[in-house]
């Protein structure tokens, strides 16, 4: 069976460098056979030129995209598919490149070369201020304020994601879709168990009317859940200010969960809403063509957080996907893992020295030989981490879907953190195949990759054929 060798790429790269030239480079240097085209997104993580403030790679236009970057749908929305939602496709057409339809432009060139095209769709954290109607469907935080993301339980929102999927799959001869959704539930966000750079437990979501209705349907007492999260917010604020409970930070946290089981139940409700979107997208694509491939992006928090892992299983995810893109970003993983450890040792595990917490967490995650805490940003995570996470995913899905690890190729890091090298990129890519990967997806986007590192990944792909 042919392995999928993919790359994430935004329309900017094809506009700046030309479609034929770019495809030449991707095939020759990276051994790429599948394009993951950023089609609906407002996020610089998968589209746009290099993110502002970071060094440009050795290809493309060496100028910022700040003057024109906006985001949206880089294909052509077709009104007939949006009849069941008040969120109309034409209102979200990306203005960045005028009337350019990047899917229509790319497909003939890619198909001529025997390359597959997968459209990436991203449900983001924030939508631009110039699409104010999105606020009608926004999540509501603990203080009653609207946030930047759309609530899963809003009927128009769920219909919108089905419409976008149906539109792309019906209007173009694409090979599938890849859905990105990195949002997490209120419990994980409140206590900071991610690699995010800040903790604001008062901003957790969602407490809108639709979420309240969903809670009732699931047998969850909404008011008790809200009360529990208010107390959790106070606990987190006290922890961040080093106001130690008499029984310690962890015991006080556990006591809250026992007193308010609605806290955990409400977090699980968030995940249920998120996973319903995944199921809806899968069903919408398959209703158009059974052979369309549908996949989901599994975010980097999966690499650090045992509680995140416990809240979902690969076995369950495999029931709603043809492939999973499992993030195993090793270079940026070092600084992100350290941020995670610092976060959890500022709240729930504040009584545990950070270096000891890292050791405990490594045992929980089955990691071996990773760098000490203070060295993690410069060391990054090892190829062994990539292999172990690939093996875990493969064992979890048990052959029910493909595992395509997302490989870190020049993902920007802090000034004092590790920068990708050809050796790093080669070793990480090869490690994924040693772990049994069904392919790889070079990430996050071509417009931040150095050509030498793209070539190193391609060399590993070709060498993996000899394994």
CATH number at residue 409: 3.20.20.80
129: pLDDT confidence band, cut at 50, 70 and 90?
Answer: confident
Give percent of the chain above pLDDT 70.
100
Q: Look at the chain and report how many structural domains it folds into.
A: 1
pLDDT tens digits for range 292-305: 999 999 999 999 99
Stretch 425-429: mean pLDDT, rounded? 99
Stretch 198-223: mean pLDDT, rounded? 96
d(CA 104, CA 85): 25
**Among 386, 462, 398, residue whose Cα is nearest residue 424:** 386
Contact indicator for 199, 235 with CB cutoff of 8 Å: no
135: pLDDT confidence band, cut at 50, 70 and 90?
Answer: confident
At residue 198, the pLDDT reads 81
**435: domain range?**
4-183+273-464
Q: Would you say residue 289 lies in a domain? A: yes
Strand partners, 40: 73, 121
Stretch 100-118: mean pLDDT, rounded? 99
- Which residues lie closer than 8 Å to 162 by C-beta, 6 or more apart? 84, 280, 281, 283, 284
Stretch 153-177: mean pLDDT, rounded? 98
132: pLDDT confidence band, cut at 50, 70 and 90?
Answer: confident
Stretch 329-336: mean pLDDT, rounded? 98
Q: Would you say residue 64 lies in a domain? A: yes
Stretch 97-108: mean pLDDT, rounded? 98
Q: Do the strands 176-180 and 146-150 form a parallel or antiparallel pair, or are they unpaired?
A: unpaired
d(CA 322, CA 79): 28
Contact indicator for 25, 7 with CB cutoff of 8 Å: no
Contact indicator for 324, 317 with CB cutoff of 8 Å: yes
Q: Would you say residue 126 lies in a domain? A: yes
At residue 196, the pLDDT reads 77
pLDDT tens digits for range 32-76: 999 999 999 999 999 999 999 999 999 999 999 999 999 999 999
Instruction: Report the chain's mean pLDDT, rounded to a whole number.
Output: 97
Q: Would you say residue 221 lies in a domain? A: no
What is the DSSP secondary structure assignment for residue 371, as one 8-state letter? P
pLDDT tens digits for range 262-287: 999 999 999 999 999 999 999 999 99
Q: Would you say residue 22 lies in a domain? A: yes
Where is 376: in which H helix or E strand?
Answer: helix 376-379
At residue 340, the pLDDT reads 97
What is the DSSP secondary structure assignment for residue 9, as one 8-state letter? E
Q: Would you say residue 287 lies in a domain? A: yes
At residue 125, the pLDDT reads 81
At residue 11, the pLDDT reads 99
pLDDT at 395 over 90: yes
Q: How many CB atoms lie within 10 A of CB 256?
A: 16
83: pLDDT confidence band, cut at 50, 70 and 90?
Answer: very high
d(CA 180, CA 165): 13
Contact indicator for 420, 375 with CB cutoff of 8 Å: no
d(CA 439, CA 5): 5
pLDDT at 134 over 90: no
**Among 84, 85, 50, 89, residue whose Cα is nearest residue 73:** 89
Give the torsion sign (CA, 40, 43, 45, 47). positive
pLDDT at 322 over 90: yes
Stretch 412-438: mean pLDDT, rounded? 98
Q: How many CB atoms lie within 10 A of CB 375?
A: 13
**Among 15, 110, 108, 23, residue whose Cα is nearest residue 63:** 15
d(CA 52, CA 48): 10
d(CA 459, CA 429): 9
At residue 127, the pLDDT reads 87
């Amino acid at each position: 069976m042919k392995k999928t060798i993919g790359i994430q790429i935004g329309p900017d790269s094809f506009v700046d460098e030309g479609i034929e030239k770019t495809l030449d480079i991707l095939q020759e240097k990276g051994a790429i056979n599948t394009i993951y085209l950023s089609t609906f997104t407002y996020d610089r993580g998968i589209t746009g030129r290099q993110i502002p403030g970071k060094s440009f790679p050795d290809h493309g236009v060496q100028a910022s995209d700040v003057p024109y970057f906006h985001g949206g749908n880089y294909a052509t929305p077709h009104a007939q598919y949006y009849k069941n939602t008040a969120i109309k496709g034409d209102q979200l057409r990306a203005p960045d490149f005028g009337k350019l339809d990047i899917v229509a432009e790319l497909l003939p060139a890619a198909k001529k070369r025997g390359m597959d095209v997968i459209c990436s769709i991203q449900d983001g954290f924030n939508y631009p201020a110039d699409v104010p109607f999105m606020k009608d469907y926004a999540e509501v935080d603990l203080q009653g304020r609207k946030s930047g993301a759309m609530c899963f339980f809003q009927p128009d929102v769920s219909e919108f994601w089905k419409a976008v999927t149906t539109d792309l799959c019906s209007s173009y001869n694409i090979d599938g879709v890849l859905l990105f959704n990195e949002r997490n539930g209120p419990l994980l966000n409140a206590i900071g168990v991610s690699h995010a750079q800040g903790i604001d437990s008062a901003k957790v979501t969602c407490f809108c009317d639709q979420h309240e209705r969903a809670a009732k349907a699931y047998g969850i007492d909404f008011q008790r859940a809200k009360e529990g999260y208010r107390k959790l917010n106070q606990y987190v604020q006290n922890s961040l200010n080093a106001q130690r409970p008499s029984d310690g930070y962890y015991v006080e946290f556990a006591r809250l969960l026992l007193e308010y089981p609605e806290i955990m139940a409400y977090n699980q409700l968030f995940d249920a809403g998120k996973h319903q979107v995944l199921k809806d997208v899968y069903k919408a694509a398959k209703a158009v063509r059974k052979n369309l491939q549908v996949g989901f992006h599994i975010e980097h928090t999966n690499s650090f957080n045992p509680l995140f892992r416990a809240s979902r299983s690969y076995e369950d995810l495999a029931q709603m996907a043809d492939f999973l893109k499992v993030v195993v970003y090793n270079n940026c993983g070092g600084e992100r893992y350290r941020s995670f450890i610092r976060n959890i040792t500022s709240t729930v595990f504040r009584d545990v020295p950070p270096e000891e917490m890292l050791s405990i967490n490594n045992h929980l995650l089955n990691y071996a030989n990773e760098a000490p805490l203070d060295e993690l940003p410069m060391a990054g995570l090892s190829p062994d981490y990539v292999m172990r996470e690939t093996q875990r995913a493969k064992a979890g899905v048990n052959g029910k879907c493909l595992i395509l690890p997302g490989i870190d190729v020049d993902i920007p890091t802090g000034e004092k953190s590790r920068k990708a090298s050809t050796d790093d990129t080669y070793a990480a890519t090869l490690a994924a195949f040693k772990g049994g990967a069904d392919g790889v997806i070079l990430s996050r986007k071509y417009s931040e990759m150095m050509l030498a590192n793209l070539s190193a990944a391609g060399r590993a792909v070709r060498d993996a054929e000899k394994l």
